[in-house]
Amino acid sequence: MKADIIQELSDAIGSQKVLVDDALQDRYHHIWHMDQPLRALALTLPESTAEVSVIMKICNSYEQPVVVHGGLTNLVGSTETASNELVISLERMVQIEEVDERSRTLTAEAGVILEHVQEKAKEHGLLFPLNFGAKGSAQIGGAIATNAGGLRVLRYGMTRNLVLGLEAVLADGTVISSMKKIVKDNSAYDVKQLFIGSEGTLGIITRAVLKLVEAPNSRTSAFVGINEYDHVVEFLRYMDAGLAGTLSGFELIWKTCYQGLTTDPSPSRPPLPYDYNYYVLLEGLGSDAEKDQKRLEDLLEKALINGMIQDAAIAYSESDLNWFWSIRENVDSVVHKCTFDQHFDISLPIPLIGAQIAAMTQKLEMVEGVEHIFAFGHVADGNIHFIIGKENDGDALRLKINDIIYGPLQDIGGSVSAEHGIGLHKKAYLELCRTSEEIQLMNHLKRSLDPKNLLNRGKVLDI
């Protein structure tokens, strides 16, 4: 059977686009595991929606399970493969087909790297606001499949809010295409939303129409030191109101993490001393550089005088902006401090974050084998990341850490995934944040769109 399906795929799309055996040796399932050769029946490299469709038609007839590979930056094991699975990689679908300045849209194939979308929009005086640390590797199809969030959700929403049109291939090869540029379309169900955030389990995204916004003329930023969590919440509201709709980023970094991000092996120096419990990194995107800078300075001065904040460092140049934001984006510098690392991206109601993270940290500190606890996140979205450094990668320690972090979420109306998704790693915890009726409906959807369970089998749902 293996020989038959490989032959059929090679006949259909060309043997140079079907990699098998030794050709898989220098392929991998994740950018952080490039030293681990890919286990798979074969890896296919389609160059068009039609080729993805033909691959799926063949896989459907052989009941061949498939794993979809984008930029391989996910943090939940969702691109891992078994040796009997076939990989469809979108890496050759890299055309930016059009930038329509008047509609403010960009149409691209799914394999385009996020950073290339950002650069192309910029060439046209526009902005694609989706932004996160893995932008140089993550593909637009992967970002859509995971409904990625990142650093500017506060102002522009998640990926879901930035997709106007979508094309996807179903498990049986059917192409569902709705590549419209319109913002509003209430003609029955918004089918494209099904594929956004479904982590490749319902269809393979092949093209998208992305929403662009006017590029800002000014970017302001500051690092702020605060001692009380309640003041962080107060400061968020104060800055949001004071910056009159231009606040675009409000990142919170706990002291230990701030130290980790600004000491070896990080190349970055700390903009503020290590004297505060919390560090806020904020960003404003506006239209008048001078006025925006002055407004930021005035607001910070007042906040310092009335004791809401304890310290502030303002970015005065492009290099300051790069310096500040590289501290937040280069989370690798804390990952490198860990012997083994475990990542979390939980969602919590904003007012409860301070006390909950403190309680979790206290419990984690008591666990033998936990070496580092780094907490940071997009606090304006209620999304906190933990990176836990630990001495071994065993199940017992992993589960103990999971229990401490996921345990309280159900009672406080939180979520085990704010933005990274469920993949393989969080499947067992889905029921903490979704009702059984919701999970049942998800299972129905999966069965009706993919009755043979071919796409990313065993990921997200237990069917």
Ligand X SMILES: Cc1cc2nc3c(=O)[nH]c(=O)nc-3n(C[C@H](O)[C@H](O)[C@H](O)COP(=O)(O)OP(=O)(O)OC[C@H]3O[C@@H](n4cnc5c(N)ncnc54)[C@H](O)[C@@H]3O)c2cc1C
CB 145, min distance to ligand X, A: 3
Which one, 130 or 308, has the nearer CB to ligand X?
Answer: 130
Which one, 296 or 331, has the nearer CB to ligand X?
Answer: 331
Which one, 205 or 224, has the nearer CB to ligand X?
Answer: 205
> CA gyration radius for the chain?
23
CB 267, min distance to ligand X, A: 16
Alpha-carbon gap, residue 386 to 260, rounded angstroms: 13
Residue nearest to ligand X (CB): 142
CB 378, min distance to ligand X, A: 7
Which one, 85 or 419, has the nearer CB to ligand X?
Answer: 419
φ/ψ of 372, rounded to 5, equals -140, 150
End-to-end CA distance of the chain: 24
* Binding interface with ligand X (CB under 6 A): 68-75, 78-79, 90, 110, 132-134, 138-139, 141-143, 145-146, 148-150, 199-200, 204-205, 331, 419-420, 456, 459
Which one, 94 or 358, has the nearer CB to ligand X?
Answer: 94
Which one, 141 or 354, has the nearer CB to ligand X?
Answer: 141
CB 241, min distance to ligand X, A: 25
CB 101, min distance to ligand X, A: 26
CB 299, min distance to ligand X, A: 26
Which one, 242 or 421, has the nearer CB to ligand X?
Answer: 421
For the purposes of burial, counting CB atoms within 10 Å of the CB of 50, is it exposed (0-12), middle (13-18) or buried (19 or more)? Answer: middle
Which one, 148 or 212, has the nearer CB to ligand X?
Answer: 148
CB 194, min distance to ligand X, A: 12
CB 89, min distance to ligand X, A: 9
For the purposes of burial, counting CB atoms within 10 Å of the CB of 345, is it exposed (0-12), middle (13-18) or buried (19 or more)? Answer: buried
Which one, 358 or 428, has the nearer CB to ligand X?
Answer: 428
CB 93, min distance to ligand X, A: 8
Three-class HEC string of the chain: CHHHHHHHHHHHHCHHHEECHHHHCCCCCCHHHCCCCCCCCEEECCCCHHHHHHHHHHHHHHCCCEEEECCCCCCCCCCCCCCCCEEEECCCCCCEEEEECCCCEEEEECCCEHHHHHHHHHHCCEECCCECCCCCCCEHHHHHHCCCCECCHHHHCCHHHHEEEEEEECCCCCEEEECCCCCCCCCCCCCHHHHCCCCCCCCEEEEEEEECEECCCEEEEEEEEECCHHHHHHHHHHHHHHCCCCEEEEEEEEHHHHHHHCCCCCCCCCCCCCCCCEEEEEEEEECCHHHHHHHHHHHHHHHHHCCCCCEEEECCCHHHHHHHHHHHHCCHHHHCCCCEEEEEEEECCHHHHHHHHHHHHHHHHCCCCEEEEEEEEEHHHCEEEEEEEECCCCHHHHHHHHHHHHHHHCCCCCECECCCCCCCCCHHHHHHCCCHHHHHHHHHHHHHHCCCCCECCCCCCCC
Which one, 133 or 458, has the nearer CB to ligand X?
Answer: 133
CB 383, min distance to ligand X, A: 8
CB 195, min distance to ligand X, A: 7
Sign, CA torsion 104/110/112/118? positive
Which one, 144 or 405, has the nearer CB to ligand X?
Answer: 144
